[in-house]
Amino acid sequence: MKNVVVTGGAGYIGSHTVLSLIEYGYNPIIVDNFSNSSPKVIERLEKISNRDIKCYNIDCCNKDELDKVFKENDVFGVIHFAGYKAVGESVKLPLKYYENNLISLLNVVEVMHNNNSNNLIFSSSATVYGDPASVPIYEDFPLHVTNPYGRTKLMIEEILKDYVKANPDFKVALLRYFNPIGAHESGLIGEDPNGIPNNLMPYITQVCIGKLDHLNVFGDDYDTIDGTGVRDYVHVLDLARGHSLTLKKMEEINDNLLIYNLGTGKGSSVLEVVHEMEKVVGHKIHYVIANRRAGDIATCYANCDKAYKELGFKTQYNLYDMCQSSWNFQQKNPNGIR
């Protein structure tokens, strides 16, 4: 079984990807410093997969410690999820974001190089498209970012493009995620934000469970179906599978730079998500129309034909499944993963 290092493997997308890698016959090795996740996630992953999972409590900013992982294991590839991801915080603390996200990436690449590990998947984001001129968004659209978090994603994409030019034996895949929501059907792992959630789905589930009084809908005067923001929500299990399919592809081909959008290709408005969740919980959800949130765009959804044609990436879950599994996770973990 090929070893795949998953940095940030205890996090939301990372943990679901660890399970997918196992299903696809890879051996995941988690590297996480648990700065935004719980070590309990590892036990839960072991419970779901019914096997031991190797895990190193390491900060990717520590190059020497990271190097040890590669010395102790023959590493076929790396999926690099680890990084800070709060847009608002990045505006207030840009250096924290540049330092952590860029140094981690530089260390990962250098350590891979020194240990002859040549396949890297980077966790990028639809945020690199900024406010697109039209939708759906294709991979060759112009790139533009509006906040330091997004800029770290774009800078890393550029760094990796330069790196593969200079190192043709090194393969990189840039996966641009749209809006991942949902959770594993066991309810043991899911999105577990610290404090008051920034993102829509954990906010809604916390309203549903009574931890928050109501949802603020950020604007109802956008040029969209009902005036509220439209996003491409994708089930985290579909997204996770996209990583395994990408690794398989990297084993088959010689191209050394792959870029894919991972979404569903379909947009849903904030109110459509709320109404879908109302079907799941069986009652109305209290929401209030609030001002637009600074930096938000009206509409963002992907064209995913490239991932479908080249990877066979086809989503299996609909919005109802996403809401249902998010709610299941919230109910089973009213206070998060503790």
126 part of the interface to ligand UFG, by CB under 6 A: yes
Least CB distance to ligand UFG at residue 219 (A):
7
Distance CA 128, CA 151 (A): 8
Known catalytic residue at 301: no
Binding mask 295-314 for ligand UFG (x = CB under 6 A): -x---x--------------
Q: Any contact of residue 99 with ligand UFG (CB under 6 A)?
A: no
Outline where DSSP puts E strands in 170-291.
Answer: 171-177, 179-181, 215-218, 230-231, 233-235, 257-262, 268-269, 287-290
CB nearer to ligand UFG: pick between 59 and 232: 232
The alpha-helical segments, DSSP class H, found in 115-253 are 148-166, 200-208, 236-252
Residue nearest ligand UFG, Cβ-based: 229
Spacing of C-alpha 151 from chain mean position: 16
Site string for ligand UFG, 225-264 (x = CB under 6 A): ----x-x---------------------------------
**CB atoms < 10 A from the CB of 239, how many?**
27
146 near ligand UFG, rule: CB under 6 A: no
Give the residue with the Cβ less far from ligand UFG, 28 or 150. 150
Looking at the Cβ atoms of 73 and 198, the one nearer to ligand UFG is 198
Strand partners for 233? 179
Cβ pair 236, 181 in contact under 8 A? yes
CB of 45 to ligand UFG, least distance (A): 23
In the complex, minimum distance from the CB of residue 17 to ligand UFG, in angstroms, rounded to a whole number: 17
Q: Is 293 in the site for ligand UFG (CB under 6 A)?
A: yes
Q: How far apart are CA 192 and CA 131, in angstroms?
A: 28
One character per residue 10-49, x = contact with ligand UFG (rule: CB under 6 A): ----------------------------------------
Q: Does 270 bind ligand UFG (CB under 6 A)?
A: yes
Please report, as a single letter, which amino acid is at residue 312: G
* CA–CA distance, 199 with 47 (Å, rounded to integer): 28
CB 9 to ligand UFG: min, Å? 19
Catalytic residue among 26, 56, 84, 149: 149
Smallest gap, in angstroms, from Cβ of residue 295 to ligand UFG?
8
* Close Cβ partners of 90 (under 8 Å, ≥ 6 residues apart): 84, 96, 97, 147, 148, 149, 150, 152
What x-and-dash track marks residues 166-205 binding ligand UFG by CB under 6 A? -------------x------------------xxx--x--
Q: List CB contacts of 143: < 8 A, sequence separation 6 or more.
A: 128, 129, 130, 154, 157
Residue pair 258/172 in contact by the 8 Å Cβ criterion: yes
The residue type at 308: Y
Q: What is the DSSP letter of 302?
A: B
> CA 187 to CA 8: how far, in whole Å?
20
Nearer to ligand UFG, 9 or 180 (CB): 180
Q: Between 69 and 82, whose beta carbon lies closer to ligand UFG?
A: 82
Selected from 27, 115, 167, 216, the binder of ligand UFG by CB under 6 A is 216
CA distance 67 to 71: 6
Which of residues 107, 123, 124, 125 is near ligand UFG by CB under 6 A? 125
What is the contact surface with ligand UFG in residues (CB under 6 A)? 85, 87, 125-127, 150, 179, 198-200, 203, 215-218, 229, 231, 270, 293, 296, 300
Annotated active-site positions, please?
A: 149
